[in-house]
Structure 1
């Protein structure tokens, strides 16, 4: 099994960073898993914007690309190659300011491409091009966004579901969410411990499937 782990938190003590560590530590002795890591805070990832579209125009006309244009094409291609090669993609990410980190958004911008992850039918509806790819979410959020009054404010896991299930038609096989540790500091240690136990269980299940 080819696994891509997308690490999306550069805080060493961040809870989603610890979830990433737990996952990687659990599978590190499994020789039958081919694991690649894409750390969005360590990769060269120019933000998606006009530089990318300028590069496409220049490629068509044969013009020389600027440094930033070449960088964004190279970064986009690397993300696409790693994503395409993976049978399973694991995303470890926090909820920051009600949404995902900007660097993770850039990774999604790189792979959200017509003709790659999806295409349009004659009626304009999306057709899934990678429906067999499996996805796992490892998410941490300090508040309790499972509460009915908080659910509509959560734009991290909900957004990721909309992209990978709704737009790409992929199968989210597991979601491990650690939440409420900031809102309930007296229970934080127990909440984080139980969440990481579930992360380890999910990783062990993968090892058993090989």
Structure 2
């Protein structure tokens, strides 16, 4: 099984969120066979720009037109990021809550890989069809306050709903959250929250369903769609913003 660890914390080993993710990864290696973990550190990883040639290529694809040769080299960087994402059987996402939502580096990564014709497509009546099926995700988060259901701060939690929505949109609906909270009230509450989250993370990795992730994996592209071909003609530009 290949697990892709997407790290959206800039604090490295000092990160409390990383401590929790580390507990999951260590437990997974200990209890499951043939586990390979690859890490994408979003603060130390060059992502292609979603601007210039790439934004033109994106809107060309959305119009159902082929990409021009002028945009091919730049767009290939987007395709490499998508291919790397799709190469995993499961995902571990490490992301603190920033301003009720996700860090900018994670939003940038999502905007890079979630492209039409690769992770989702539109059918003949314009409905979005997910293309990333049969995969699992663990989202590890730390929050300064308590945003748990029923708490006064829960209405400000835009992190978990957004991540469930965007990854569910492309087909990853088997998502579990491990939220360490509150982190910024007292040191005692922080350590208690981290300790409980680490225990939860280690226990998740032991579950039998994680041993069968690779065997149950479905094709990432069930419709057999290919990226749009590259041609010599300049595509019609979109007026969308």
State TM-score, norm by structure 1: 0.83
Evaluate the alpha carbon distance shift between residue 62 and residue 181 of structure 1 in structure 2; reply closer, same or farther with a 3 A threshold.
closer
Question: What SS does the corresponding residue of 1:20 show, helix, strand or coil?
Answer: helix
> Where does structure 2 lack aligned partners over 5 or more consecutive residues?
61-65, 213-241
Displacement of 1:14 in angstroms is 2.1
Q: Is the 1:144–1:183 Cα contact (8 Å) retained in structure 2?
A: no
Are residues 208 and 129 of structure 1, via their aligned partners in 2, closer, same or farther at CA, if it must alter by over 3 Å? closer
Tell me what 1:26 maps to: 27
> Which residue matches 1:62?
69
Give the deviation of 1:62 after TM superposition: 3.4
Instruction: Note the residue ranges of structure 1 that are not aligned, 5 or more in a row.
Output: none
Q: Which has the larger radius of gyration?
A: 2
CA contact (8 A) 2:142 2:183 kept: no
Aligned residues: CA RMSD: 2.6
Q: Which of the numbers 81, 84, 89 marks the counterpart of 2:83?
A: 81
The residue number in structure 1 matching 2:164 is 161
CA separation of 1:177 and 1:55: change in aligned 2, threshold 3 A: same
Closer/same/farther in 2, CA of residues 64 and 192 from structure 1, 3 Å limit: closer
Q: Which has the higher contact order (CA 8 A, sep 6+)?
A: 2
Q: For 2:154, which of 151, 154, 158 is the aligned residue?
A: 151
Note the C-alpha offset of 1:36: 1.5
| Aligned with residue 197 of structure 2, among 173, 176, 195 | 195
Q: Counterpart of 2:17? A: 16
Q: How far did 1:173 drift?
A: 3.9
Matched, 1:7 2:7: yes
Q: CA deviation at 1:193?
A: 0.6
